[in-house]
Amino acid sequence: MTSPLLEMRNVETYYGPIMAIRGVSLVVDEGEIVTVLGANGAGKTTLLKTATGALDSRKGRVLLDGAEIQNRDPDWVARQGIAHVPEGREVFPFLSVVENLEMGAYNRHDRDAVATDVETVYAYFPVLRELRGKMAAYLSGGQQQMLAIGRGFLARPRLLLLDEPSLGLSPALVEEIFRIITRLNREQGLSILLVEQNANVALRVSQRGYVMEVGGMVMDGDSNHLLASEDIKEFYLGKKEEGIRGRRRWKKRKTWR
């Protein structure tokens, strides 16, 4: 049996004495888009940071192609082939758009291929071509999100981690960005682990999904199934009981195995 591309096994991560994720497991296979849903504070960002070494786990293992990568420096993990597009874009504000992209390719030495991939990014996000000489700080939030995704793509990673790419964007822009995420997966063969609060759009682009709450996985399955599930409908798709996100509680606890 071959190992999955990414596997997290019973991972526990703490902020000081506070356990932020409690024994979480997850699998991403080659070629998949997998989504992790969760309300504010569920631990999604913590999960991704643990996967790429920005946070150390206290227990559990993170495996890339079956090899342990937990608790290493994030630059080392990046060189193993995981590109992390962090929450809130985190572009390099005083570098130009093209310099930002080239920083994504920092560890690549095939200059021609990098130049081709910069063109590929411009083909997916034409607005970035127009802005290529501009400092990233001057870009709009949506343009920065495109830049952050493009920068991650330029590493030519085995796996791309996307932390809430819809954050703060208009519905139309969210649609556009997710269309491109789907295309990157299909056309470039890019495997993607996507963290989202926007369940509707995330489940439509992904093949499988997990649902997190207060640091643990409470549900997982095919995205279609999750989309149809009553709990998801209620709490993420706004079919019932509108409330402040993060305050919503899962009603039928017993249904989660």
Ligand X SMILES: Nc1ncnc2c1ncn2[C@@H]1O[C@H](COP(=O)(O)OP(=O)(O)OP(=O)(O)O)[C@@H](O)[C@H]1O
How many angstroms separate the CA atoms of 165 and 148, rounded?
9
Say how many Å lie between the first and final Cα of the chain, rounded: 27
Footprint (CB under 6 A) of ligand X, residues 189-218: 197
Strands (E), 16-89: 18-28, 33-38, 59-64, 67-68, 82-85
Between CA 147 and CA 96 the distance in angstroms is 10
Give the integer Cα–Cα distance in Å for 145 and 180.
Answer: 12
How many C-beta atoms lie closer than 10 Å to residue 120's C-beta?
16
Q: Say whether 177 sits in a helix, a strand or coil.
A: helix
Backbone angles phi, psi at 243, to 5 degrees: -165, 180
Q: How far is the CB of 163 from Mg ion (least distance, A)?
A: 6
Return the residue of 42, 77, 91, 193 that touches ligand X, per CB under 6 A. Answer: 42
Subset of 1-20 contacting ligand X (CB under 6 A): 15, 18, 20
Q: How far is the CB of 236 from ligand X (least distance, A)?
A: 12
Whether 100 contacts 92, CB under 8 Å: yes
Neighbours of 215 (CB within 10 A): 20
The answer to the question of residue 90 lying near another protein (CB under 8 A) is yes
Least distance (Å) from ligand X to the CB of residue 122? 30
Tokens at residue 85, please? 């597009």
Rounded (10°) CA dihedral 165, 171, 177, 182: 100
# chain residues binding ligand X, by CB under 6 A: 13
Determine the interface stretch with another protein among 24-32, 99-107, 192-200, 223-231 (rule: CB under 8 A): 99-107
Contacts with another protein, 112-151, as mask; x by CB under 8 A: -------------------------x-------------x
* Residue choice 7, 25, 29, 41 for contact with ligand X (CB under 6 A): 41
Taking CB under 5 A as the binding criterion, the range among 22-30, 36-44, 95-103, 143-151 that sits at the site for Mg ion is 36-44
Q: Which amino acid is at 21?
A: I
Q: Does 79 bind another protein (CB under 8 A)?
A: yes
Residues 89-118 that bind Mg ion (CB under 5 A): none
What order of strands is seen across the sheet that includes strand 18-28?
A: 18-28, 6-15, 59-64, 67-68
Residue 140 Cβ, how far from another protein at the closest point, in Å? Answer: 16
Instruction: Return the residue of 7, 12, 65, 87 that touches Mg ion, per CB under 5 A.
Output: 87
Query: For binding to ligand X (CB under 6 A), which residues are involved?
Result: 15, 18, 20, 38, 40-46, 87, 197
Query: For binding to Mg ion (CB under 5 A), which residues are involved?
Result: 44-45, 87
Query: For binding to another protein (CB under 8 A), which residues are involved?
Result: 52, 54, 73-75, 78-79, 83-86, 90-95, 99-100, 102-104, 106-107, 137, 151, 155
